[in-house]
Amino acid sequence: MQRSTALGLIAATVLATCPAAQAAPALHFGPCPEDVSTPYPELRCAGLDVPLDHADPAAGTVRLLISRLPARDPAARRGALLTNPGGPGGPGIAFAGSLSRRLPDVVLNSYDLIGVDIRHTAHSTPIHCVDAATYWRAPLPDPDAEAARERNWRRAAEYAAGCAQRAGRYLPHLTTPTIARDLDLVREALGEQRISFLGYSWGTYLGAVYGRLFPHRVDRMVLDSVVDPSRVWYANNLTQDVAVQRRLGRYFDWVARHHGTFGLGADRERVGTAWRAVRAELRHAPRGPLGPSELIGITFTALYGEDDWIRLAEALAAFHLRGDDRPLVGMVVPKDAATENANAIYNAVECADAPWPADRATWERDAAALARHSPLAAWYNLWSVAPCRTWPAPSGQPVRITGAGLPPVLLLNSVHDVATPYAGALRMHRALPSSVLVTERDSGTHGLYAMAGSAEIDRIGTDYLVRGSLPAGDVAVPGHPKPDPAAPGPPRGRQLVLR
């Protein structure tokens, strides 16, 4: 992997201040691919070739696809707002389309909204490591069962080997700093001296790295659901396990408060017993594509927000109380080629960004220790990144985030976030002296601005993006209301993908 040394950082700064040193071609926008233009016909797309290796431009190029929604009010336009949905591996163009339906009009009046499928994702020279239909055929092996451990390690090694075979030449250059440099070439091709940035989840780390490499190219920056920059990436995955277990308890509390609706128990312990009984039954006899791994995945995903809380509780009740597995089976989402592409990028970037333990004993010791008090995802989360143990590209050292030279930055995080635990937002806040942190209390929603329905967070984010105004200091706002099973609303279709 190409990792920034002090000399590399100086070179990056020179390039940022002297656009002629590495001129990017102008973008020519036209129709987007059909899968984007059908739901979002207002978007226009353009291709941009960037170096495969920024340290060796002669080594070839990879092609990125970029989308743009021009500012609705040219007189009010103040620049370009680049967006990223997280992952790493989230399809950025589709996400920008989704944001075009969520962001306030005053933001859409003020900015060209820009989406980027980062290198090797979605429409940007995509890669795959395995055949999705065979490798991801459900049900997957039980993540917790000791009897399945050898099989899970073999699958992890098979995945890493598949990446080497299918995408080996790209893997050394699939890193967060490389992607940040790609974004600066997007900025240049857009003809912008500075850009604003709205990043969620892993996108917050991408934004922080961009700000480290190109601080004077940043206009305004919103980092929403914030990655801990000091624990990239092995330790971050461990902290997720603790956070998701605490969030699971709060979910069980919510289910218990609605015992009259769901019938799963009137306290946390009884609801937990019901969930574990479903898992035990699936261990004994999986139901089609639904096994214990899928149940854990469904539960983990539901804890990113509250959109699926009612549906999951109803499905658990149908299975546990009435023997009807159809609602829970219906929540299994098959992993298709697009999902496999996202998974490939997720592993590739995290594996190459930072060191990982080389010996199985360390992984197993840490997972076993966590499983004693945080059992939901201790092993499940391990297997999601286990290919990093034998990853075929070298790992570097994470970029040290300092915030030097950055303008004011807005950080947003819920206090019970499972994917980006709150302690990480505090560490990012300390690393970025110009930042202001807005916390949503009594909430675990992952992705807040224009996502969670918090009027106060939406107001703060919009005031900052449009007028540059921030609270005088850190702010804690009330949590948004929890779902009411007596009056369920339609799902909001969230697209954040960091696991």
The yes-or-no answer on residue 446 being catalytic is yes
Catalytic site includes residue 201: yes
The pLDDT, as a whole number, for residue 20 is 33
The alpha carbon dihedral of 375, 379, 380, 384 has a sign of: positive
**pLDDT at site 488:** 60
Alpha-helix residue ranges (DSSP H) falling in 168-194: 176-190
CA atoms within 13 A on the CB side of 342: 18
Catalytic-role residue among 100, 124, 201, 374: 201
The CA distance from 354 to 176, in Å, is: 10
pLDDT score at 1: 33
| Torsion, Cα of 257, 260, 262, 265 (10° steps) | 60
The one-character DSSP state at 263 is: -
Phi, psi angle pair for 453, to nearest 5°: 85, 20
Cα dihedral: 247, 346, 449, 195 (round 10): 150
- CA of 408: how far to CAs of 78, 294, 405, 425, 437, in Å? 17, 42, 10, 16, 11
Q: From first to last of the 499 residues of the chain, give the pLDDT tens digit.
A: 332 322 232 233 333 333 333 456 789 999 999 999 999 999 999 999 999 999 999 999 999 999 999 999 999 999 999 999 999 999 999 999 999 999 999 999 999 999 999 999 999 999 999 999 999 999 999 999 999 999 999 999 999 999 999 999 999 999 999 999 999 999 999 999 999 999 999 999 999 999 999 999 999 999 999 999 999 999 999 999 999 999 999 999 999 999 999 999 999 999 999 999 999 999 999 999 999 999 999 999 999 999 999 999 999 999 999 999 999 999 999 999 999 999 999 999 999 999 999 999 999 999 999 999 999 999 999 999 999 999 999 999 999 999 999 999 999 999 999 999 999 999 999 999 999 999 999 999 999 999 999 999 999 999 999 999 999 999 999 998 899 998 866 554 444 544 4
pLDDT of 490: 56
Q: Which residues contact 378 (CB under 8 A, 6 or more apart)?
A: 241, 367, 368, 370, 371
CA 28, CA 268: separation in Å to the nearest integer? 56
Question: Can you list the positions of beta strands (E) in 333-434?
Answer: 409-414
Amino acid residing at 356: W
| Closest C-alpha to 309, from 450, 489, 456 | 489
Place of tokens 């974004």: 183
Distance separating alpha carbons of residues 192 and 111, to the nearest angstrom: 12
| pTM of the shown model | 0.93
Write down the catalytic residue from 182, 417, 429, 443.
Answer: 417
Q: Which residues contact 11 (CB under 8 A, 6 or more apart)?
A: none
Tell me, yes or no, if 463 is annotated catalytic: no
Identify the pLDDT of residue 107.
Answer: 98
CA atoms of 490 and 337, how far apart (whole Å) = 27
Q: Write phi, then psi, for 45 (nearest 5 degrees).
A: -125, 155
Q: How far is CA 449 from CA 17, 210, 359, 415, in A?
A: 31, 21, 40, 15
Of these residues, 112, 446, 458, 480, which one is catalytic? 446
Task: Tell me the C-alpha to C-alpha distance, in Å, between residue 272 and each of 66, 144, 251, 349.
Answer: 45, 17, 10, 35
